[in-house]
Amino acid sequence: MLKWVTQKVLVNLDKCIFDFLKNNKDIMPLRFTKLIANYYSDARIRKIYWEKLGIIMGENTYANLGLTLGGDGSNNPSVFIGNNVTIAPNLTVISDSCPINSNFLQETKYIKSKLIKGMPIVIEDDVWIGTNVTILPGVTIRKGSVIGAGSVVLKDTEPYSTYAGVPAKLLHNIEDKAL
């Protein structure tokens, strides 16, 4: 009897927490928003909170734990993820890169012109991203692409292609494009 009551209480508590987080996203302080987006166990809630932080995800797309956004901290959308995207654990998306703690580096000509970037990332529909992948500013991962685990994506991909490595390189085109 006690086991049944305990289970019932925990199920109700889980539902209350879910409903509270879902209905109060707009009043949540930024630090809580980041905490919930990164670590809450329910991907549906993480998706809602990632949207507040600038990651827009399409239908039937949820990120595993460990999605990290490196950006400017604004709430402007900086990562657009399409429908039916599979995201393995520990994806890092860097939409804005700047050595903010060093005025010297920020003013160095080479770094200023080549390395400081702030550009949106686009991940189109039906993409599969492996674990521990990093995507850098301005990259578009085209429809039907597969990105191998541990890859660092510096440039746009071709549609229906497999990429892997550091930096990620085209391995081959996926021959069967039909569903």
Task: Spell out the residues 6+ positions from residue 63 whose beta carbon is closer than 8 angstroms to its own.
Answer: 43, 46, 47, 50, 57, 87, 91
Q: Which pLDDT value is given to residue 76? A: 59
Give the pLDDT score at 78.
85
Single pTM value for the model: 0.83
Profile the chain (179 residues) by mean pLDDT over runs of 10 residues: 87 92 92 90 90 89 85 65 95 81 77 76 96 94 97 96 96 72
Domain with CATH 2.160.10.10 in the chain: 54-173
Architecture in CATH for domain 54-173: 3 Solenoid (2.160)
pLDDT in the model for residue 174: 87
State how beta strands 62-63 and 68-70 pair.
Answer: unpaired
| pLDDT for 74 | 52
